Amino acid sequence: MFFLCVIASNGFAAENAPSSTMALENSTCIQCHEKQNKALISDWRDSVHAVANPKVDCVSCHGALHKDVASNARHDETCINCHGGKKEPIVHSYSSSKHGTLMQLEKNSYDWNQPFELASYRSPGCGYCHMHQGNHNVSVTVRHDLMSDMETEKVQDNTRAVCQECHSPRYITHLFTNGEAMLEIARKKIREADRLIKQATGEFSEEELMPVRQQMMKMRQHLVNVHLGVGHQSPDYQWWHGQPALDGDLLRIKGAISELRRASFLAD
């Protein structure tokens, strides 16, 4: 009765899988897999990946062939190649974290055919956190930013569920508190710069204010760096690419505006 056991597990037997040499399209994956797991498909449909243009679909992550189809998607490279490559802050903030460093050292010893939740991985990769327990909606798994439109408690619970598979609740509470404090300091600097620029807007032409506005754009990227530093637990991004960079931006904006005021005072 061996064959019965195989079928009985989920009614989705291996012999019903498509040939591993035939390239498939996204709609074909969905047609068949929707029968097995409706929630997986609807979670994907609710994610930013499904509404991106072009779509990030089944084939983008799993490949078009029904071969190594799960392990393909579990590898960080799948996410990294499309998320801007190694130098992009999203990726670099992870690779410069302890998790990223460990992953780099140990990835060849992990069994990538195992689901993440079976915890054969000592260090988490992109999918471990963002697609926790196979959740195909990358927008609802780990969240840190309390300014997001999800409820604070739910945000923290979802993230906790991931971190606490490997860390103690106390340690994670401590990190969340520090992370929020760090983000709030960063946002304060942005608010101060915004206020200074608003005041200067009536006094000077857009042309005169151009360098100030360009500095402000850099400043917003540095806020993103702090956000990523906190999310990906990268001290480099919290500090080196984050807070001191924001301090520098604020100083330059202040300096440029007082320079404009001095010049207009001398011209009067």
By CB under 6 A, residue 42 contacts ligand HEC: no
Residues 179-238 that bind ligand HEC (CB under 6 A): 227, 231-233
Look up residue 87 and give its amino acid. Answer: K
7, 8, 17, 39: which one binds ligand HEC (CB under 6 A):
17
Shortest separation between residue 197's beta carbon and ligand HEC, angstroms: 24
Q: With CB under 6 A, what is the number of residues at the site for ligand HEC? A: 77
Contact window for ligand HEC (CB under 6 A) among 48-56, 186-194, 247-255, 257-265: 48-56
Contact window for ligand HEC (CB under 6 A) among 112-120, 185-193, 208-216, 244-252: 112-120
Q: Which is nearer to ligand HEC, 73 or 197 (CB)?
A: 73
Tokens of 238: 């919290």
Shortest separation between residue 67's beta carbon and ligand HEC, angstroms: 9
Interatomic CA distance for residues 157 and 164, integer angstroms: 10
Residues 117-136 that bind ligand HEC (CB under 6 A): 117, 121-131, 134, 136
Tokens of 69: 């189809």
**Residue 193: exposed, middle, or buried by beta-carbon count in 10 A (0-12, 13-18, 19+)?**
buried
The pattern of x and - marking residues 78 through 107 that bind ligand HEC according to CB under 6 A reads: xxx-xx------xx--x---xx--x-----
Shortest separation between residue 222's beta carbon and ligand HEC, angstroms: 14
Shortest separation between residue 110's beta carbon and ligand HEC, angstroms: 10
Q: How many CB atoms lie within 10 A of CB 230?
A: 24
Tell which residue, 127, 124, 128, 129, has the closest CA to residue 100. 124
Do 247 and 264 contact (CB within 8 A), yes or no?
Answer: no
Q: Which is nearer to ligand HEC, 188 or 195 (CB)?
A: 188
Who's near 41: CB < 8 A, 6+ residues apart? Answer: 30, 33, 34, 136
Interatomic CA distance for residues 232 and 264, integer angstroms: 45
Peptide linkage before 54 cis (omega within 30 of 0): yes
Q: Which is nearer to ligand HEC, 11 or 202 (CB)?
A: 11
Shortest separation between residue 196's beta carbon and ligand HEC, angstroms: 26
Name the phi and psi angles at 66, rounded to 5: -85, 60
Residues 138-167 that bind ligand HEC (CB under 6 A): 138-139, 142-145, 148, 159, 162-163, 165-167
Shortest separation between residue 108's beta carbon and ligand HEC, angstroms: 16
Do 104 and 95 contact (CB within 8 A), yes or no?
Answer: yes
